[in-house]
Amino acid sequence: MSRRGPNPAQAGRRWRRPAALLLSAGLLAFTAAVPADFVPFVRPAGWPKPAYELRRNPQTPAGFALGRALFYDPILSRDYSTSCASCHSPATAFTHADHRTSHGVEGRIGRRNAPTLQNLAWTPAFHWDGGVNNLEVQAVNPLTHPSEMDFTLDGALARLRAAPAYRARFAQAFGDSAVTGQRLLKALAQFTVSLQSYNSRYDQVMRHEPGAAFSEPELQGLALFRQHCASCHQEPLFTTNGFANNGLAPDPYLRDPGRAGITLQPADSFQFRIPTLRNIEFSGPYMHDGRFRTLGQVLRHYTAGGIRASATLAPQLRQPPAFTAAEQRALLLFLFTLTDKQFLQDPRLNYVPEAAAAPAAGP
């Protein structure tokens, strides 16, 4: 699929040039100190109010850079094998390509598909079951889960305190070199809150940017999408952030009750968080257990008799849509317009080698 607009990699690099800073008026107040690889959080025009209260955790370039270093550092796993990025890779909208469910330390397999990480400031409840209530505390889960990083917060903090480069980074980010759990989590959130996708061709068309347009089949796909999909995958986030049972037959091995595991309400059985569809072209496999490898399989689930009736099935799916082959193709073409290569290839969100990232001086 061809992109219209500037080459995203070049666009990213251009940030390093002073003139490019004019692109973001909000940055001008502190341009002198802004590293070219800092991505401040922005609220795109017309988007709803974020759930995350960034004022409780004001972003700084140093806090963002510390969060990014932590995100890509396997030091946070018990055996130094696994980082956040192991299961949340930038090129796939921060999910884990080709794995139904991800593997953590010692190759242990989890029971749910790693979700994408994008536009997290609008997520009121994290995980497929919505059990986590704030972006900052989400990271405690992968860090301590036996199938993921299998470590303890105290263990991670001890390692970071023993690393002069990290003590210096904490001092730059928070004013002194104390390495606390609160600071670790806030720094991670300062990075992850900036994993924002709002520059897909869909977004450019919606913003009436010059040269941005949908093809005829894409327009047809958009119409079908709005008619049949948007009640759950609501624009512009492409999710309501609610929970739904979309008719997947429960896996007898995983025995995952979904939302009901948190609420203990039978009415929530087999309901899972509605995922965003942004960058869906690259975020497979799909569904909470990663059972579908292709978008074709996903569409067939919804349109070709895949939906399994049950007491908690989403009402919208009780009479599933029946798309023709041409309609399915149009829908897919529309979904591909949600690909945001500027986000997927943003070097500022990617791993920065330690030599380039290390702060100039320690405390």
Partner 1 sequence: MPFSLLLQPLCGLLVALALPPRPAEATGAASPARPGPPAGLRLRVEPVFGSQPLVLETQTYPTAHNGAVSLSTCRFYLSALRLTFTDGSSYAEPASYHLIDAADTATFSLTLPQAPGKAIKMLTFSVGVDSAANVAGAQGGDLEPGRGMYWAWHSGYVNAKLEGRSPACPGPRHEFEWHVGGYQRPCASLRRVTLPVPPGHPATAPLRVLADVGQWLSTRRLAETASVLVPGPAAQALADGYATMFRLAPATQP
| Residue ranges of the binding site for heme c | 84, 87-88, 229, 232-233
Token pair in block for residue 46? 């017309």
Nearer to partner 1 among residue 152 and residue 227 (C-beta): 152
CA 224 to chain centre: 25
- Note whether 153 binds partner 1 by CB under 8 A: yes
- Name residues contacting partner 1, limited to 282-301 (CB under 8 A): none
* Closest approach of partner 1 to the CB of residue 307, in Å: 29
Nearest distance in Å: CB 48, partner 1: 19
**Among 50, 103, 134, 165, contact with partner 1 (rule: CB under 8 A):** 134
**248 class by beta-carbon count within 10 Å (0-12 exposed, 13-18 middle, 19+ buried):** buried
Q: Is 339 in the site for partner 1 (CB under 8 A)?
A: no
Name the helix (H) or strand (E) containing 273: strand 272-273
Give the binding range for partner 1 (CB under 8 A) out of 137-145, 248-256, 276-284, 324-332. 137-145
DSSP 243: E
- Cross-strand partners of 241: none
Check binding of 182 to partner 1 (CB under 8 A). Answer: yes
d(CA 139, CA 185): 7
Residues in the chain: 363
Separation between Cα atoms, residue 269 and residue 304, nearest integer Å: 24
What sign does the dihedral 50-93-245-147 (CA atoms) show? Answer: negative
Q: How far is the CB of 39 from partner 1 (least distance, A)?
A: 20
Q: How far is the CB of 139 from partner 1 (least distance, A)?
A: 9
> Which of 154, 255, 315, 319 contacts partner 1 by CB under 8 A?
154
Q: Site mask, partner 1, residues 42-61, x = CB under 8 A? A: -----------x-xxx----
Nearest to partner 1 of 56, 293 (CB atom):
56
For residues 60 and 164, is the Cβ–Cβ distance under 8 A? no
Stretch that binds partner 1, among 15-23, 174-182, 192-200, 335-343 (CB under 8 A): 174-182
If binding means CB under 8 A, how many residues of this protein chain bind partner 1?
33
Residues 6+ apart with CB under 8 A from 3: 201, 341
Under the binding rule (CB under 8 A), the answer on residue 127 touching partner 1 is: yes
CB of 216 to partner 1, least distance (A): 46
9, 40, 347 from 195: Cα distances, Å: 16, 10, 12
Of these, 81, 180, 240, 269, which contacts partner 1 (CB under 8 A)? 180
Binding residues for partner 1 restricted to 237-266, rule: CB under 8 A: 262, 264
What are the tokens at 263?
């609420």
Q: Sign of dihedral through CA atoms 299, 93, 73, 133?
A: negative
- Cα(336)–Cα(318) distance, integer angstroms: 27
**Closest separation between CB of residue 361 and partner 1, Å?**
17
Under the binding rule (CB under 8 A), the answer on residue 73 touching partner 1 is: no
Distance in Å, CB of 146 to partner 1, minimum: 12
For residue 267, give the amino acid letter.
Answer: A
DSSP string, 251-269: PTTT---BTHHHH--GGGT
Binding site for partner 1 (CB under 8 A): 53, 55-57, 127, 131-137, 140-141, 144-145, 152-154, 157, 176-178, 180-186, 189, 262, 264
